[in-house]
């Protein structure tokens, strides 16, 4: 008899109360991932937070920045643009923008330290969680080691602060990750649960019952020996040998405990919603189709990426451009090359076709070049637009139709009733046969027999 079986033979009636699966994982001992201060760990250790922050900062960083004068004209070359493209010897412009957006998500603030003087020649992005305002907000304090071992005082005019709106503070911004704190911690606990479940061989815990009493220290030793022999993924499915009237009872998941795993999906959706990132952007294609994927990406740019880029540019317009004597100028994002914001070929064709009255608007040669890059047809036979012959351009009047002139026949006295009825019938008047018909704008001459008769124009 091995030591485990020996201890089992002394095992008391362990308990008659069934523990839930969540209780077996000891989630009460799992420290929260975010405790109100260490927000950066939410990015480094939570996959959905990392995916959202990375997606936003990557899309913000690649948007080109254009400089416009007060009249709205584009400025092609200026030292202010050059510094944004090459901020310092170790960082390029895209990386600088990516870090700025990332710190706004993690801390609600981002800080650029500029070189001394009115016109900066270099800039550095500081770790936002190591920057605070000094005494009476007279300077900035930067702690590179994260503690008071080294404190660098930076003049206010040498720092540019970017911040998100915070209803609880006028000095510091509020980050999305702070609002997502509970959802991130919930997701962290669920992952701890799944990890514990997998570590036990992906099977629910069990309960052992015995007829003989076992003291607390013996139960602890018994649990450790049991885990060493039968616990873990490598021991999954291993044959158990019990003795001394021991009874093994496996505890299955109840319906209530099974719903615990649905929380994983709920917490994921909450995190994505708080950051404003659609599922398709982070690779979740469960409910995506071509149509709604395009709409998701368009809404993502319009509601998340561009507003974030505007926050950065607006701050630069206020505190960066005046250093170069450019007050009144503005920095904006150039979205002309963003595929998600452009209409596809089908939408463009439908819009232009509708705008031109529903008729074709390209020549054959233009359509060949646009669609396949083909050369024009020989002898200019393709230089024509095939339209609907039944439609006329707006404003063009149709040719008037000729109106026949009809005169009644004179009634003849003394004739029979039949002749009288025939005499009253109208007869067409041949204007060309009458002398002076229509000449010089004068009315045509009417024969004497019909003078005094009523003349009617019938279309």
Residue 170 contacts residue 109 (beta carbons within 8 Å):
no
Find the DSSP H helices in 62-125.
Answer: 79-85, 93-107
- 208-212, 307-311, 373-377, 450-454: least confident range: 450-454
Q: Is pLDDT of 429 > 60?
A: no
Which whole number is the average pLDDT over 303-317? 96
pLDDT of residue 74: 93
CA 265 to chain centre: 20
The predicted-structure confidence for 83-122, as pLDDT tens digits, reads as follows 999 999 988 999 999 999 999 999 999 999 999 888 999 9
Long-range contacts of 328-331 (CB under 8 A, 24+ apart): 328/69, 328/70, 329/67, 329/68, 329/69, 329/70, 329/75, 330/67, 330/68, 331/65, 331/66, 331/67, 331/68, 331/84
User: Among candidates 72, 140, 146, which has minimal Cα distance to 111?
Assistant: 140
The maximal CA–CA distance of the chain, rounded, in angstroms, is: 150
Q: What is the mean pLDDT of the chain?
A: 76
Q: What's the Cα-to-Cα distance from 240 to each of 11, 171, 248, rounded to whole Å? A: 16, 63, 9
Q: Is pLDDT of 55 > 60?
A: yes
Which whole number is the average pLDDT over 387-414? 62
- 72-76, 279-283, 348-352: least confident range: 348-352
Q: Is pLDDT of 373 > 60?
A: yes
| Close Cβ partners of 380 (under 8 Å, ≥ 6 residues apart) | none
The predicted-structure confidence for 217-250, as pLDDT tens digits, reads as follows 767 776 777 667 666 555 555 556 555 566 666 6
Which tokens sit at 281? Answer: 């952007």
Which DSSP helix (H) or strand (E) runs through 197?
helix 181-199
- 223-237, 367-381, 418-432: least confident range: 418-432
Which whole number is the average pLDDT over 289-301? 87
Q: What span, in angstroms and rounded, lies between the C-alpha atoms of 357 and 343?
A: 20
For tokens 């990332």, the residue is 102
For tokens 């009874």, the residue is 247
- 36-50, 239-253, 362-376: least confident range: 239-253
Q: Is pLDDT of 10 > 50?
A: no
Residue 405 contacts residue 429 (beta carbons within 8 Å):
yes
Q: Is pLDDT of 426 > 60?
A: no
Residue 276 contacts residue 300 (beta carbons within 8 Å):
yes
Any idea what DSSP says for residue 73? Answer: P
The predicted-structure confidence for 167-220, as pLDDT tens digits, reads as follows 999 999 999 998 888 888 888 887 777 776 666 555 556 666 666 676 677 677
Q: What span, in angstroms and rounded, lies between the C-alpha atoms of 142 and 121?
A: 21
Which DSSP helix (H) or strand (E) runs through 153?
strand 152-155
Q: Is pLDDT of 162 > 50?
A: yes
pLDDT grade for 410, boundaries at 50, 70 and 90: low
Segment of 171-175, 180-184, 263-267, 370-374 carrying the highest mean pLDDT: 171-175
Q: What span, in angstroms and rounded, lies between the C-alpha atoms of 278 and 292?
A: 11
pLDDT grade for 18, boundaries at 50, 70 and 90: very low
Segment of 217-226, 266-275, 339-348, 375-384 carrying the highest mean pLDDT: 266-275
Q: What is the pTM of this model?
A: 0.65
pLDDT grade for 350, boundaries at 50, 70 and 90: confident
Q: Per DSSP, what are the bridge partners of residue 112?
A: 125, 160
Find the DSSP H helices in 200-333.
Answer: 216-230, 255-258, 262-275, 290-300, 306-319
pLDDT of residue 120: 93
The predicted-structure confidence for 119-154, as pLDDT tens digits, reads as follows 999 999 999 999 999 888 889 999 998 888 899 999
Greater model confidence, 351 or 214: 351
For tokens 């009460």, the residue is 28
Q: CA angle 74-80-83, nearest 5°?
A: 125
Q: Which residues of 306-340 are buried (b: 16+ CB within 10 A; e: fewer)?
A: bebbebbbebbbebbbebbebeebbbbbebeebeb
Which tokens sit at 318? Answer: 């206020």
pLDDT of residue 11: 36
Q: Is pLDDT of 79 > 70?
A: yes
């Amino acid at each position: 008899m091995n030591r485990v079986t020996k201890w089992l033979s002394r095992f008391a009636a362990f308990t008659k109360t069934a523990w839930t699966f969540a209780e077996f994982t000891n989630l009460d001992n799992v420290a929260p991932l975010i405790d109100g201060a260490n927000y950066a760990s939410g990015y480094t250790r939570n996959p959905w937070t990392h995916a959202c922050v990375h997606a936003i900062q990557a899309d913000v960083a690649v948007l080109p920045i254009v400089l416009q004068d007060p009249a709205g004209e584009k400025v092609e070359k200026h030292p202010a643009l050059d510094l944004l493209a090459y901020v310092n010897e170790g960082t390029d412009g895209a990386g600088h923008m990516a870090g700025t957006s990332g710190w706004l998500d993690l801390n609600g603030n981002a800080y650029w330290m500029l070189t001394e003087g009115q016109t900066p020649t270099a800039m550095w992005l500081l770790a936002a969680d190591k920057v605070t305002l000094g005494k009476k907000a007279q300077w900035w304090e930067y702690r590179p080691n994260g503690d008071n071992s080294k404190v660098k005082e930076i003049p206010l005019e040498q720092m540019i602060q970017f911040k998100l709106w915070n209803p609880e503070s006028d000095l510091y911004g509020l980050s999305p990750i702070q609002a997502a704190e509970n959802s991130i911690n919930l997701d962290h606990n669920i992952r701890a649960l799944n990890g514990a479940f997998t570590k036990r061989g992906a099977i629910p815990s069990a309960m052992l019952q015995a007829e003989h009493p076992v003291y607390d220290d013996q139960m602890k030793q018994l649990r450790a020996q049991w885990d060493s022999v039968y616990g873990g993924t490598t021991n999954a499915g291993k044959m158990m040998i019990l003795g001394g009237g021991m009874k093994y009872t496996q505890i299955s998941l109840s319906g209530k405990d099974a719903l615990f795993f649905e929380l994983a999906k709920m917490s994921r959706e909450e995190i994505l919603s708080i950051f404003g990132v659609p599922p398709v952007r982070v690779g979740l294609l469960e409910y995506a189709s071509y149509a709604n994927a395009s709409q998701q990406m368009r809404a993502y740019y319009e509601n998340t990426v561009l507003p974030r880029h505007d926050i950065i540019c607006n701050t630069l317009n206020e505190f960066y451009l005046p250093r170069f004597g450019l007050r009144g100028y503005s920095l904006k994002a150039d979205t002309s090359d963003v595929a998600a914001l452009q209409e596809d070929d089908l939408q463009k064709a439908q819009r232009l076709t509708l705008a031109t009255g529903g008729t074709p608007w390209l020549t054959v040669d233009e359509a060949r070049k646009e669609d396949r890059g083909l050369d024009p047809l020989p002898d200019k036979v393709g230089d024509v637009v095939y339209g609907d012959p039944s439609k006329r351009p707006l404003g063009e009047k149709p040719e008037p139709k000729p109106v026949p002139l009809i005169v009644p026949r004179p009634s003849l006295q003394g004739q029979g009733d039949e002749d009288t009825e025939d005499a009253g019938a109208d007869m067409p008047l041949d204007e060309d046969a009458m002398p002076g018909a229509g000449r010089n704008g004068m009315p045509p001459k009417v024969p004497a027999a019909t003078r005094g008769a009523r003349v009617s124009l019938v279309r």
